[in-house]
Structure 1
Amino acid sequence: MTAAKDRDTRERILHAAAELLAQSGGEPVSTRAVCQAAGVGAPTLYHHFGDKRGLLDAVAAYGFERYLAEKRAMPPADDPVQRLRDGWDLHVEFGLRHPAFYVVMYGSAQPGKPPTAAAEGQEILLGMLNDVARAGRLAVAPETAARMIHSAAVGVVLTLIAEDRHAPDDLSARTRDALIAAVTTPDEAAARGDTPLAAQATALRATLTASSAGIPLTAAERTLLDEWLDRLAASSA
């Protein structure tokens, strides 16, 4: 089998599995059904994916790529906090439009093995939060806020999928607003120059991280400064 034909066969199996999952309504999809849909034998499927877990991991990566294509296409917002809200809504809407994909992506995680394909999504979220931090609006470290928001968003989507919802509802909006209020400072406070010390420390750390090449500090000095800023942010929060 040539490399091109081998690649085409793998893609055909992957697309067949993705299509069956999308049509399954949340029911399990067997490797036998995937083989029939792709027109291949079980040895061919196992040759490409190892086992069912490997196939599902590949389908999850395919689902993440579809999600990230939408995430990358998000238009920029003048208000970084509003962009954070828009990112939440996009995440929830994607999950409810593609419930079978979403459950494979987020509902079947293995201990100590976060989905590899999720890394870019986390980086996009962290980038949004660093923008909020540089605006002086983030009350906790960007990494902490990212973990809080991601965990809450996944929990909301899985709950709505289990309830057979097809569109975001009050649960999503209330959870989103509560989380964003918990990790950000009011816009009015920033406009008055009344930014809490935690937000100031977080803003300075994010700004230094974004422009680290031009900072006249040694590596040891930078490490010490980061530690001080983290402590100020944590104690003030």
Structure 2
Amino acid sequence: MSQLHPWSRYVAIGDSFTEGIGDPEPESPGGHRGWADRVAEQLAERTDDFAYANLAVRGRLLQQIADEQIDPALALRPDLISISAGGNDILRPGTDPDEVAQRFDDAIARLRSDGATVVIFTGPDIGMTPVLRRVRGKVAIYNENLRYVAAKRDAIVIDMWALRELQDSRMWHPDRLHFSSLGHHTIARATLGALGIEHDLQPMRPEPLPGRTWRQARTEDLGWAREHLVPWVVRRIRHQSSGDLITAKRPEAGSPRR
């Protein structure tokens, strides 16, 4: 096989987004696939001896990712690193997106120290969600900071805010906090495109959603709040994380093929 791109070792770090939550796959390590696994699979098809590790753990805050994942990631000697971090911080009341972005900049400086290509992600536009829209302004401010960091550190940006396909509710898991399999597939396509990689991931275009009455929408919102929102709020109050006792699903660099 000829070398069709410049990377041979890819390490993904971050939180639930990069771990692949919302895209269940029993045969994948950790029981979830996600956009990063999909990207790694495509990269592996285009070069010999490709290695991939995924150190992301759900629920992690930016400082936890910096403290727990950056050094192990660099120890794997990657030439390609992706990081999505800070989203869980931004969702918390009272956080300052400028301060979070400064710590993100520090993290990117460390990741770029050995010359690896670094990929970062802006937050998606969450204006269509019933609860998260309250922090839409914070997400927008954080995104502008991330674009500045990317320009400063020469990182590649996957602009999920501009990825209008993510406005479709079918791109989201029923918990409305994570992406569905369709969402992860769409983000993998966007990532490969930003890396300049030709790939065979085809757009997935589901049928239009049937119309809903106001009463049906209200019932769905109440069911979602009971099943997903309330447990999430309770964990925040108790200072618990969905990632407690969870470890990285791919801690060692190896073949991404299942």
Q: TM-score, normalised by structure 2?
A: 0.24
Greater fraction of residues in strand = 2
Greater fraction of residues in helix = 1
Q: RCO higher in 1 or 2 (8 Å CA, sep ≥ 6)?
A: 2
Please identify the structure whose Cα radius of gyration is greater. Answer: 1
Q: TM-score, normalised by structure 1?
A: 0.26
